[in-house]
């Protein structure tokens, strides 16, 4: 399984005349659709791909057929007849490529990890680092001393957001082919050595590391090999808090996230608890009182340097809420942002300048029509405020406190100057009012409270991933489950939010949002963007079921609790990664938006979440689908029928369940190669 995505070394064995006519699966420009200019030949190799209609490859003198589509052939879900497949990252899917002459080729896919977290990896200077290793604010390794005599550096078992990219004039010692880089962030660490059964006890208590991987891309086969691992210094941004999903900006930077912003009021209303922030601070700074909650809950941006190092900054003007993943639009100014919260919002940021997120305007959506499982509901956007990152950061560094910004109380003050809002899933009572002149601080530092106060539809349940289909001008987002604030009459439901699903669906849904220009906010002011969501509908819905023989409580042939999503313009495919406790194994799915075909592409180890999803249409002519997983063997009630069988295998595969993989999908037995 040592092949790059959709490639093989067999191309090197072909006659030069055939190599010159290798298939270019995707255009060099990611926005260019399939077909048309994509002339080429599919090569058999190492046992060969299957030519489904028997057509022979085109000869150099014969005009090559153009590719018309690429689709995935679904794999079966593993079960206890194949326990090893359930206990590892398994790929049994195929990629089918069709051509204008009626021929097609099918390629088996596999999974290639760069490393398991906890592995020793090269630092590029002749030494090694620990993959996913965790550091304090002074870049000293944080040590797990919970078992005397076995002290070691903490490392994460939760790799998440990943971006694959290139940098002009890159030069890194050890790279023999093309230098390619991956930025990988690590969300959290489950447990320490002393805990024999993971309970997420360390969630949010350790700072999140982020790394730049230098990869050597073989120009002939496209294979990626790890050459250098660089841990990014996060001192200047006060460390990172629970970095989850990520995306690649159109200008080639890694847009990270900080979810579950700590509640500065410490009222327990939708943020991390007081004890978590204090423990995080103690681990990061060596002082439980030093971390300022307002430094966390933002969008960090990582820039990769030509030498394989990286620098980082945080954007404090994009709203402070449970950032999971943002998606920049093609105008390089408009960002759509998910909110991984219950009673969460659908947020938009429009930058003042392209490729510069340091200043702009923040909006929250309000549905003006009832949004249900069957409706198409119109929305409007409420302007929350405009700001620069520098002025918001100055407020934080100047010592602003939550009580300087607004009053927030949990008992009814019987005062009409307060507004009752709902935060978190339990319909928690909260009354708020903004202090005079503090609207800007409220908009950017107490975004959840202020957006609810201003009338935003804070009703979505864990709206995590966001992506965009540029050709059709449609954005996709997830609701990881349809419950609580989304369901009529349930806890946290608010009728005026106009999000009114008729029943709970734990398996969740994918939402689609039509994009357009010429829109005005609720105050009648023009929104300076052509990529503004105007209406929403359900694209895909999961299905809850009574527990089946394996223990699944959601239909295993449909999505459940979607999380990471990414869209490939070239393949016309929406990739969907799961984070569910309703499937015994979480899956990575491919949904073709034209054919409506849903295909299971990959199965993570049982108990693991599918993370790090990144679909890359072309890097130096090669296509990649990045995919990680985290917390293998995180056993829940859904695993009661399989745990005893699978736990010892998972422990053997993944370092007693302390490790997880960072990697990508590959073609294992045949080539789809490319030329410009």
Three-state secondary structure call for residue 618: strand
Confidence (pLDDT) at 269: 73
Report residue 98's pLDDT band, with 50, 70 and 90 as the boundaries: confident
Report residue 491's pLDDT band, with 50, 70 and 90 as the boundaries: confident
For residue 676, pLDDT over 50 is answered with no
Distance CA 611, CA 319 (A): 24
For residue 92, pLDDT over 80 is answered with yes
Is 77 domain-assigned?
no
Is 196 domain-assigned?
yes
For residue 62, pLDDT over 80 is answered with no
Domain that holds residue 274: 118-155+158-315
Confidence (pLDDT) at 7: 35
Whether the CB-CB separation of 325 and 161 falls below 8 Å is answered with: yes
At a CB cut-off of 8 Å and minimum separation 6, what does 273 contact? none
Mean pLDDT of all residues in 109-135 = 97
Mean pLDDT lowest among 28-32, 207-211, 228-232, 579-583? 28-32
- Number of domains composing the chain: 1
DSSP 101: T
At a CB cut-off of 8 Å and minimum separation 6, what does 13 contact? 45
218-235 residue pLDDT tens: 999 899 999 999 999 999
Is 549 domain-assigned?
no
Confidence (pLDDT) at 60: 45
Is 489 domain-assigned?
no
DSSP 520: B
Which tops the pLDDT comparison, 268 or 1? 268
Confidence (pLDDT) at 583: 98
Is 204 domain-assigned?
yes
16-61 residue pLDDT tens: 332 222 333 332 222 222 222 222 222 222 223 344 433 334 444 4
Distance CA 213, CA 55 (A): 41
Is 167 domain-assigned?
yes
DSSP 485: G
Whether the CB-CB separation of 462 and 564 falls below 8 Å is answered with: no
For residue 108, pLDDT over 60 is answered with yes
Put simply, whether the predicted model's pTM sits higher than 0.85 gets the answer yes
Quickly list DSSP for 646-669: HHHHHHHHTGGGT--EEEEEEESS
For residue 177, pLDDT over 90 is answered with yes
Mean pLDDT of all residues in 530-545 = 98
Is 151 domain-assigned?
yes
Distance CA 399, CA 629 (A): 38
Distance CA 69, CA 35 (A): 7
Report residue 275's pLDDT band, with 50, 70 and 90 as the boundaries: confident
Give the HSE-up count for residue 389: Cα atoms under 13 Å, Cβ half-sphere. Answer: 18
Distance CA 490, CA 183 (A): 40
Q: Give the CA distances from residue 28 to residues 31, 70, 323, 468, 620, in Å, rounded to whole numbers and listed in that order.
A: 9, 16, 31, 19, 7
Query: Which among 430, 426, 401 has a CA at the least distance from the CA of 418?
Result: 430
367: its two tokens: 């549905």
Q: How many CB atoms lie within 10 A of CB 370?
A: 14
The residue count for the chain: 676
Distance CA 264, CA 335 (A): 25
Q: What is the dihedral of CA 482, 157, 293, 427, to 10 degrees?
A: 20
Q: Where are the alpha helices (DSSP H) in 190-258?
A: none
Report residue 426's pLDDT band, with 50, 70 and 90 as the boundaries: low
Is 393 domain-assigned?
no
Distance CA 78, CA 585 (A): 8
Confidence (pLDDT) at 36: 25
Confidence (pLDDT) at 429: 79
At a CB cut-off of 8 Å and minimum separation 6, what does 329 contact? 335, 336, 468, 515, 529, 531
Please give the mean pLDDT across all residues of the chain. 88
Q: For the chain, give the percent of residues with pLDDT over 70.
A: 88
Report residue 247's pLDDT band, with 50, 70 and 90 as the boundaries: very high
């Amino acid at each position: 399984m040592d092949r790059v995505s959709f490639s093989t070394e067999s191309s090197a064995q072909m006659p030069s005349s055939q190599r010159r006519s290798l298939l270019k699966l995707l255009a060099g420009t990611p926005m260019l659709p399939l077909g048309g200019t994509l002339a080429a030949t599919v090569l058999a190799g190492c046992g060969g791909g299957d030519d489904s209609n028997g057509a022979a490859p085109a000869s150099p003198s014969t005009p090559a057929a153009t590719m018309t589509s690429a689709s995935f052939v679904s794999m079966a879900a593993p079960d206890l007849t194949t326990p090893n497949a359930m206990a590892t990252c398994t790929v049994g899917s195929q990629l089918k490529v069709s051509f204008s002459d009626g021929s097609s080729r099918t390629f088996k896919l596999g999974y290639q990890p760069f490393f398991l977290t906890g592995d020793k990896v090269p630092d590029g200077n002749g030494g090694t680092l620990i993959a996913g290793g965790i550091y304090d604010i002074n870049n000293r390794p944080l040590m797990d001393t919970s078992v005397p005599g076995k002290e070691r550096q903490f490392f994460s078992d939760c790799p998440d957001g990943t971006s694959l990219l290139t940098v002009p004039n890159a030069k890194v010692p050890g790279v023999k082919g093309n230098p390619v880089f991956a930025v990988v962030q690590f969300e959290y660490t489950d447990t320490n050595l002393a805990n024999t059964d993971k309970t997420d006890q360390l969630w949010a208590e350790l700072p999140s590391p982020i790394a730049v991987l230098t990869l050597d891309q073989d120009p002939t086969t496209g294979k990626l090999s790890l050459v250098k691992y660089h841990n990014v210094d996060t001192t200047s941004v006060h460390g990172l808090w629970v970095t989850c999903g990520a995306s690649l900006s159109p200008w080639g930077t890694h847009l990270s996230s900080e979810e579950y912003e700590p509640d500065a009021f410490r009222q327990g209303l939708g943020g991390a608890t007081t004890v978590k922030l204090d423990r995080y601070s103690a681990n990061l700074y060596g002082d439980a009182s030093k971390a300022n909650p307002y430094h966390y809950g933002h969008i960090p941006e990582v820039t990769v340097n030509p030498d394989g190092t990286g620098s980082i900054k945080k954007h404090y003007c994009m709203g402070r809420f449970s950032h999971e993943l943002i998606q920049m639009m093609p105008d390089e100014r408009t960002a759509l942002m998910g909110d991984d919260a219950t009673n969460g919002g659908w947020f938009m940021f429009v930058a003042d300048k392209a490729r510069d997120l340091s200043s702009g305007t923040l909006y929250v959506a309000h549905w003006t029509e009832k949004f249900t499982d069957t409706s198409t509901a119109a929305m409007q956007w409420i302007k929350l405020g405009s700001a620069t990152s520098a002025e918001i950061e100055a407020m934080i560094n100047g010592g602003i406190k939550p009580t300087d910004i607004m009053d927030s109380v949990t008992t009814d003050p019987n005062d009409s100057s307060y507004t009752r809002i709902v935060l978190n899933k339990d319909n928690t009572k909260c009354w708020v009012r903004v202090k005079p002149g503090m609207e800007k601080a409220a908009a950017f530092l107490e975004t959840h409270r202020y957006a609810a106060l201003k009338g935003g539809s804070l009703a979505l349940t864990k709206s995590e991933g966001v992506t965009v289909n540029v050709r059709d001008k449609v954005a996709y987002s997830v609701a990881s489950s349809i419950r609580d604030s989304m369901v009529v009459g349930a806890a946290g439901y608010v009728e005026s939010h106009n999000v009114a699903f008729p029943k709970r669906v734990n398996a969740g849904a994918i939402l689609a949002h039509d994009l357009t220009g010429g829109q005005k906010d609720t105050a009648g002011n023009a929104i300076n963007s052509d990529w503004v969501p105007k209406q929403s509908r359900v694209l895909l819905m999961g299905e809850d079921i009574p527990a089946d023989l394996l223990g699944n409580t959601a239909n295993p042939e449909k999505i459940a609790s979607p999380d990471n999503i990414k869209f490939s313009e070239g393949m016309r495919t929406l990739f969907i990664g799961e984070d569910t406790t309703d499937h015994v194994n979480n899956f990575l799915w491919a949904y073709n938006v034209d054919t409506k075909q849903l295909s299971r592409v990959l199965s993570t180890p049982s108990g693991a979440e599918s993370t790090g999803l990144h679909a890359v249409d072309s890097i130096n002519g090669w296509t990649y689908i990045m995919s990680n997983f985290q917390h293998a063997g995180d056993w829940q009630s859904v695993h009661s029928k399989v745990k005893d069988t699978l736990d010892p295998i998972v422990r053997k595969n993944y370092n007693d369940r302390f490790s997880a993989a960072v990697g990508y999908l590959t073609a294992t037995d045949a080539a789809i190669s490319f030329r410009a």
